[in-house]
Amino acid sequence: MKPRTLISSLAALLAASASIPVLAQQAQDFAITNATVAIGDGSAPIQGGTVVVRGGKIVAAGAGVAVPAGIQVIDGTGKWVTPGLVSAVTDLGLVDVGAVDESNDEYAPKAGFNAALDVSAAIDPDATPIGISRAGGVTRAAVAPVAANAIFAGQGAIIDLGADANPVNRPRAFQFVELGERGADLAGGSRVAAQTVLRNALREAADFDRRAGISKIGGAKASPTSTGDDIPLDPRMAQTVQGRADDGLLTRFDAAALVPVVSGRQPLYVHVERAADIRQVLRLKSEFPAIKLVIVGAAEGWRVARDIAAAGVPVLASAITDLPGRFETLAATQSNVGRMQAAGVKVGLGGFYDNDQPRYAPQYAGNLVAVGRLPGASGLTWGQALAAITSVPADIIGEGSRFGSLKPGLAGDVVIWDGDPLELSSGPVDIYIDGVKQSMVNHQTRLRDRYRNPQEGSLPKAYQ
Amino acid sequence: MKARNIGRFASHALAGLALALSASAGVAKPKQDDPGFQLKDNPYPSTYKPYPGEAVAIVGATVYDGAGGRIDNGTVLLSGSKVEAIGGPDLAIPQDHRRIDGTGKFVTPGVIDIHSHLGVYPSPGVQAHSDGNEATSPTTPEVWAEHSVWPQDPGFTRALANGGVTSLQILPGSANLMGGRSVVLKNVPSRTVQGMKFPDAPYGLKMACGENPKRVYGEKGQMPSTRMGNFAVDRQTWIKASEYKKKRDAGKLDSRDLAMETLADVLAGKILVQNHCYRADEMAQVIDMSKEFGYKVSAFHHAVEAYKIADLLKENGICSAIWADWWGFKMEAYDGIPENAALLADHGACVIIHSDDEYGIQRLNQEAAKAQGDGKRIGINIPDAQVISWFTLNPAKALGIDGKTGSLAPGKAGDVVLWNGNPLSVYSRPEKVWVDGAMLFDAMDRTRRPVSDFELGQPGEGDVK
């Protein structure tokens, strides 16, 4: 039985809708000079540095960089320059107001699907949180759905926060699954159930793939991300009459959506917190060798840090979790990130929802520098802390060759700050995405300006 | 609020907003046929006594006194549980005082959080611990938060060690228009709540306007289901309380009513109103309601739109207890802006930085510093020493404890934080914290790191957190 291929029109449709941001004409060529430049790769900031951006890409950054003739020069005296912040695992673009259900697309408790859900269709570049996060220096994000009716939340997307009509850089970039306390609840009431649901789902997907050959469809295109022609094909749309076992529990769409996970083409982001759950997740690799894991949460990661490092599984962790808010976070400590990093785990900051806003990332990173200065605690160096909110999460979400630092060839995502970007008193003064200067105006700045003086003038506030 | 739990999102995070509700039985009221029962003002009195502390002299630090003062190369003397003196390098240091070198470090009063749910929504945030909202009636002034506080909440220890918090007000949640009495605590580990109670601190009454009460009761198909319903229920209750108080003052009560006792004490000025309210227009209405019935709002809590009525708040002497920059998580928070604190300060209104969060309480200093920076970027420059008052003296004033703590004045409580750097920098942490002159946290000494009962024998016990 030969698998059918994707219908060609579908491929054409996908190519047409591939929403890698077209480098807009407004992309500026510019050099920022005499600034404190932080590359974002873990290195220490460079005094008197220069950053050159041309054609929407970083050309050079550091000390002793020549400014090309005729290029626009921005005086960076007294300023700091960093790559744009990368917010890994957030709901940016899915929500206007979290508690206003009709404005909130992160979560679908009554949906008939779970793993098949694909957030890329719902990203709204005009959502106010995008503008506010952008003004805080956030330029890219990994947007994840929130699990609501099953352990699988669905497929997340990589986006940029540019003020344009094309936010999605990469749809279906990862699948998200809950395997801790929340997963237990979603699976029917226990971790036992969650582990069973997971295995059944992955085996149904593998079985579907074996019968229908879904993972072979478009296989030639599964090259590393680089140019925009690598948008993953949507396995849900595979045209096949082959395939499902009669006793399958998953919908056809959900099973198809998990084929890239089980075949290792799409990473599986697993939210777990406690040490025992992390160990269980790491064991999945022996059962499903192709699977590519990213652990999200890992409040007790420090207790199994060597195992995580040995498995080569990256972690997106909270910087500040230090309370036993649940039984699965008993050993939470602000030293978690530092200890995991010291053990060789690739760890970035992640999990930005509600009042852990994406624009708080620098504060959280700064706290990891602070905690490292306390006796008995582990933190990060300044360079590592910045990397934990830029290049490391970019790398973990599979985009490290595209953005996340000021290395030559990467996207011209640049933030100019009025001081040390991790410091509380500092804020962005200019933001570029793909070399395009971004507006800093949003709902908040308009309110701020209107109410600089609270009293009405000759006309009501509504006319100001 | 949709539930998630990535990272720090415990099921009870944002408890004051999320309103995890339980159908627990109502609070028993005193028997109506027992007119002879005499209520005491404080039948659950504080048993807190300051722990022993040595006389110390912190020398060479930058000292912020909490009242707007700053002394470079300052000296702070503590003895007998009190601040003995503060001054410059020339301040005489008595022989018996142990010197602590504060060079490169900073001293502030102990941090005060006017809005916490530690103990009533403790960690772990399991349903069995959900004790912050008596959401069975829209007005429950008869409940007292101190009867819900679990002193073993590990959150208290984090607030001390990472936040330098020495006093805090524990409030009921905001499900109800009148949520009950608050309790002010010293942040001292104790077997009992009474062992934490701030001696002689006034009680507070938690009130709430806006979305929460109308949603909670509207969903039950009862009043209030609208903002106008909120006000109607409030006003009807205040009418009843006014009549009760009149009878009480005249000695004509047949029986005592716990709910009415609390409200009558508000009307008598003995209990301070701590009013959860987000929107400017609603705060303005609440101010009129307070005048209608003759009580005063001590602080509007959350107050994300306070900047729109900075003039009105100043005129009425009402503090705004706010986050630095929480925004947009619910409809009534949609107009929050990071410049809220700076705009209020610029117009001379009282600013308090509060937490309402077991994590935020560990970083009130940082939140204040962010708000200061956001002001600076629009040309409002607020001196560091004034910003320090946002989480020290100002909350003390709004709690009615400023005569005892909140600033480093001779004779006030020895509630002091020695920071290892500028407390308005992200890179600084409390190094030592004194409560009433007793050193209860020392980052340099593991024996001065509190561990709650809950954490004993469990992974991470006694770890640096």
Q: With contact defined as beta carbons under 8 Å apart, do B1 and A99 qualify? A: yes
Contact of A355 with chain B, judged by CB distance below 8 Å, is answered with yes
Q: What is the band of B10 on the pLDDT scale with cuts at 50, 70, 90?
A: very low
Task: List residues bridging with B184 in a β-sheet.
Answer: B169
CATH code for position B213: 3.20.20.140
Q: CA A275, A280, A283 angle in degrees (round to 5)?
A: 130
8 A C-beta contact, residue A309 and residue B344 = no
Tens-place pLDDT, residues B336-386: 999 999 999 999 999 999 999 999 999 999 999 999 999 999 999 999 999
CA of A325 to nearest chain B CA: how many angstroms apart?
A: 4
What predicted TM-score, i.e. pTM, was given to this entire model?
0.93
| CB–CB contact A317 B7 (8 Å) | yes
Tens-digit pLDDT profile for residues B418-435: 999 999 999 999 999 999
Distances (CA, A) of A336 to A46, A301, A361, B182: 28, 7, 16, 35
Residue A215's pLDDT is what?
A: 79
What percentage of chain B has pLDDT greater than the value 90? 91
Residue A97 lies in a domain: yes
Q: Which amino acid is at B347?
A: H
Determine, yes or no, domain membership for A408: no
Tell me the residue type at B75.
Answer: T
Q: Could you list the residue range(s) of the whole structural domain that residue A142 is in?
A: 85-403
Nearest-CA distance B271 → chain A (Å)? 31
**Distance of residue B428 Cα from the nearest chain A Cα, in angstroms:** 6
Question: Do the chains contact at B4 and A326, CB–CB below 8 Å?
Answer: no
Compute the distance between CA of residue B99 and CA of residue B56 in angstroms, rounded to an integer. Answer: 6
B310 neighbors B287 (Cβ within 8 angstroms) = no
**Nearest C-alpha neighbor of B320 from the set B404, B395, B381:** B395
DSSP B88: -
Q: What is the pLDDT of residue A167?
A: 97
Please give the Cα distance from A371 to B428 (Å, whole number): 8
Query: Which amino acid type is present at position B445?
Result: D
Whether the pLDDT of residue A230 is over 90: the answer is no
Q: Exposed/middle/buried for B55, CB within 10 Å: 0-12, 13-18, 19+? A: middle
Q: With a CB-CB cutoff of 8 Å, which residues 393-422 of chain A face chain B?
A: 418, 422
> Model confidence at B13, in pLDDT bands (50, 70, 90)?
very low
Judge if the upstream peptide bond of residue B224 is cis by omega within 30 degrees of 0: yes
Query: What average pLDDT does range B119-143 have in this prediction?
Result: 98
Q: For residues A98 and A85, what is the distance between their CA atoms, to the nearest angstrom?
A: 22
DSSP A16-78: HH--PPP--TTPPPEEEEEEEE--SSSPPPEEEEEEEEETTEEEEEETTPPPPTT-EEEE-TT
Q: How many structural domains are present in chain B? A: 1
Nearest chain B residue (CA) to A327: B124
Cα separation of A177 and A279, whole Å? 16
Number of domains in chain A: 1
Determine what percent of chain A falls in helix, strand and coil, rounding each to the nearest 5: 30, 20, 45
What tokens does B64 get? 């912020």
Question: Which domain does B325 fall in, by range?
Answer: 110-407
The label of the residue with tokens 């009221």 reads: B29
Q: How much is the pLDDT for A290?
A: 96
Sign of CA dihedral B328, A141, A74, A23: negative
Band of pLDDT at residue A12, cut at 50, 70 and 90: very low
The yes-or-no verdict on residue A24 having pLDDT over 70 is no
Q: What is the structure's pLDDT at B17?
A: 40
Which residues of A are less than 8 Å from B307 in CB distance?
451, 454
Dist CA B100 CA B161 (whole Å): 19
Side-chain-side CA neighbours of A85 within 13 Å: the count stands at 32
pLDDT digits (tens, 9 = 90+) for B203-239: 999 999 999 999 999 999 999 999 999 999 999 999 9
pLDDT tens string B156-206: 999 999 999 999 999 999 999 999 999 999 999 999 999 999 999 999 999
Minimum mean pLDDT range among A235-249, B276-290, B392-406? A235-249
Q: DSSP 3-state assignment of A140?
A: strand
Query: Would you state the pLDDT for residue A214?
Result: 83
Q: By the 8 A CB rule, do B83 and B76 touch?
A: yes
pLDDT at residue number B6: 53
Secondary structure of residue A376 in the 3-state scheme: coil
Comparing A168-172, A176-180, B12-16, B296-300, the range with the smallest average pLDDT is B12-16
**CB-closest option in B308, B328, B455 to A454:** B308
Residue B23: which pLDDT band, with cuts at 50, 70 and 90? very low
Residue B25 has pLDDT above 90, yes or no: no
Question: Residue A154 falls within a domain, yes or no?
Answer: yes
Give the residue among A71, A148, A84 at the shortest CA–CA distance from A117: A148
Residues 272-291 of A with CB under 8 A from B: 275
What CA–CA distances, in Å, run from A60 to A9, A39, A71, A162, A400? 41, 10, 13, 22, 17
For residue B107, what are the contacts with CB-CB under 8 A and spacing of at least 6?
Answer: B58, B61, B62, B63, B64, B74, B76, B408, B416, B417, B418, B419
Contact B243, B164 (CB under 8 A): no
Integer Cα distance of A83 and A412 in angstroms: 8
- Point out the residue among A318, A323, A424 whose CB comes nearest to the CB of B154: A323
Q: Is the CB of B338 less than 8 angstroms away from the CB of A444? A: yes
CA pair distance B126, A449, nearest whole angstrom: 43
Q: Which tokens hold the place of B105? A: 């470090």
Residues 359-378 of B with CB under 8 A from A: 359, 362-363, 366, 369-370, 372-374, 376-378
Measured between alpha carbons, how far is B430 from B419 in angstroms, rounded to an integer? Answer: 4
Give the per-residue pLDDT at A103. Answer: 95
* Minimum Cα–Cα distance from A349: chain B residue: B7
B270, part of any domain: yes
B16 falls in which pLDDT band (50, 70, 90)? very low
Q: What is the pLDDT of residue B332?
A: 98
Report the distance separating Cα A90 and Cα A113, nearest Å: 21
Q: Does B163 touch chain A (CB under 8 A)?
A: no
**Whole-angstrom Cα distance, residue A38 to residue A43?**
7
**B333-336, long-range: CB < 8 A, 24+ apart:** B333/A97, B333/B278, B333/B302, B333/B304, B334/A97, B334/A128, B334/A443, B335/A443, B335/A447, B335/B279, B335/B304, B335/B305, B335/B308, B336/A444, B336/B278, B336/B304, B336/B305
Grade residue B36 by pLDDT with cuts at 50, 70 and 90. low
Q: Which of B8, B337, B464 sits opposite A325 (nearest CB)?
A: B8
* CATH number reported for the structural domain that contains residue A110 in this entry: 3.20.20.140
pLDDT tens digits, one per residue of B256-306: 999 999 999 999 999 999 999 999 999 999 999 999 999 999 999 999 999
Residue A355 clears pLDDT 80, i.e. is over it = yes
> pLDDT tens, B83-103?
999 999 999 999 999 999 999
pLDDT for residue A456: 93
For residue A120, give Cα distances in angstroms to A21, A142, A261, B174, B233.
14, 11, 17, 36, 46
What is the pLDDT, as a whole number, of residue A16?
41
Say if B50 falls within a structural domain.
no
Q: What are the residues whose beta carbons fall under 8 Å from the beta carbon of A68, sequence distance 6 or more?
A: A29, A31, A52, A54, A59
Token code pair at residue B72: 């470079």
Mean pLDDT of B240-248: 98
- Give the helix ranges, DSSP H, for A118-190: 128-135, 181-187
pLDDT at B30 exceeding the cut of 70? no
- Distance in angstroms (rounded) separating the CA atoms of residues A30 and B224: 58
Query: Does the beta carbon of A441 lie under 8 angstroms from any beta carbon of chain B?
Result: no
